[in-house]
């Protein structure tokens, strides 16, 4: 079910609940099993889960981030910068990553940019390393300015050794694509060619999250200040709609405090 389909089963009590203003939030996608979105609210060290298929907020959210739900990463959520999910592209320490889903979480440990691999299939942290010691070291000069990232997979090329680009958005009006197999970074301005329609809102970007749809184009949702969002197709990068309001129709439960 797409996010722009109206939701009609929101009761009056839910509409009257306290609503938050989105800020200092990091969104990530979850590919293992049913697709989900997770939103980390760093100021309160809480998170919300929204199930993509039915656009519903399960009972018990927002919830505190702790070792019972985010393994050892819970202690670093307040320093989280951005994150995204990938699959089928990693080999490390003798492990085969075929058909494994990983959530990569980028954060600071003191003054050191770090990367945490979170295995979605086993629901646990599998490794942590300084970004300087990973395939992602070329993004280090831009680390402080990155506000959103997503795996920008093309149809039929998401296999080990094939192109696996990640697309980044920064808070200074620039964007770039990085492919871990090519090890190059090319900065480009956010404009009508790179992100149609986003340029007027380039200073308002908070975070972004992908909807990995199986039988249709994947979507990338970019969240802006003032509780608004925009939606793009992957891999064509076409604007679907936006800015539109984040509310109980478009993102039920996301603004509940």
Q: Which residue has the tokens 């203003």?
A: 21
88 DSSP 8-state letter:
S
Rounded-to-integer distance, Cα 257 and Cα 253, Å: 9
Q: Which has the closest alpha carbon to 97: 119, 66, 127, 71?
A: 119
Q: Taking phi first (over 0 means left), then psi (-120 to 50 degrees means alpha), and beta for anything else, what does residue 92 get?
A: beta
DSSP string, 146-207: EEEEEE-PPTT--STTS--EEEEEETTSEEEEEETTTTEEEEEE-STTTSTTTGGGGGGEEE
Name the pLDDT band for 15 (thresholds 50, 70, 90): very low
Q: Could you tell me the pTM of the whole model?
A: 0.86
pLDDT of 59 reads 78
- 107: region left, alpha or beta (phi > 0 left; psi from -120 to 50 alpha): beta
Whether residue 20 is predicted with pLDDT greater than 80 in this model: the reply is yes
The pLDDT of residue 157? 47
| Domains of the chain with bracketed CATH | 22-245 (2.110.10)
Whole-number Å distance between alpha carbons of 149 and 207: 8
128-181 pLDDT, tens digit per residue, is: 999 999 989 999 999 999 999 999 876 544 444 455 689 999 999 999 999 877
Q: Kindly indicate the confidence band of residue 232, based on its pLDDT and cuts at 50, 70 and 90.
A: very high
Side by side, the strands of the sheet bearing 205-211 are 205-211, 218-224, 228-234, 239-245
Q: Tell me the longest C-alpha to C-alpha distance in the chain.
A: 54
């Amino acid at each position: 079910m797409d996010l722009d389909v109206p939701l009609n089963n929101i009761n009056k009590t839910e509409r009257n609940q306290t609503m938050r203003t989105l800020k200092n939030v990091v969104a990530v996608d979850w590919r293992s099993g049913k697709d989900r979105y997770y939103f980390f609210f760093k100021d309160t060290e809480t998170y919300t889960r929204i199930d993509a298929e039915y656009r519903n907020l399960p009972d018990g959210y927002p919830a505190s981030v702790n070792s019972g739900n985010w393994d050892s990463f819970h202690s670093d959520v307040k320093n989280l910068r951005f994150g995204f999910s990938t699959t089928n592209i990693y080999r490390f320490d003798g492990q085969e990553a075929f058909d494994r889903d990983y959530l990569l979480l980028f954060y600071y440990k003191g003054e050191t940019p770090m990367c945490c691999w979170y295995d979605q299939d086993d629901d646990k942290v599998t490794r942590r390393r300084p970004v300087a010691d990973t395939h992602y070291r070329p993004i280090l000069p831009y680390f402080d300015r990155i506000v959103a990232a997503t795996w920008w997979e093309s149809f039929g090329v998401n296999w080990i050794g094939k192109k696996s680009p990640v697309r980044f958005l920064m808070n200074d009006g620039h964007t770039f694509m990085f492919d871990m197999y090519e090890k190059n970074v090319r900065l480009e301005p956010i404009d009508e060619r790179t992100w149609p329609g986003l340029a007027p809102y380039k200073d308002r970007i908070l975070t972004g999250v992908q909807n990995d749809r199986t039988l249709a184009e994947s979507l990338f949702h970019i969240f802006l200040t003032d509780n608004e969002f925009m939606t793009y197709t992957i891999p064509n990068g076409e604007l679907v709609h936006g800015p539109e309001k984040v509310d109980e129709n478009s993102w039920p439960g996301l603004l509940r405090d």
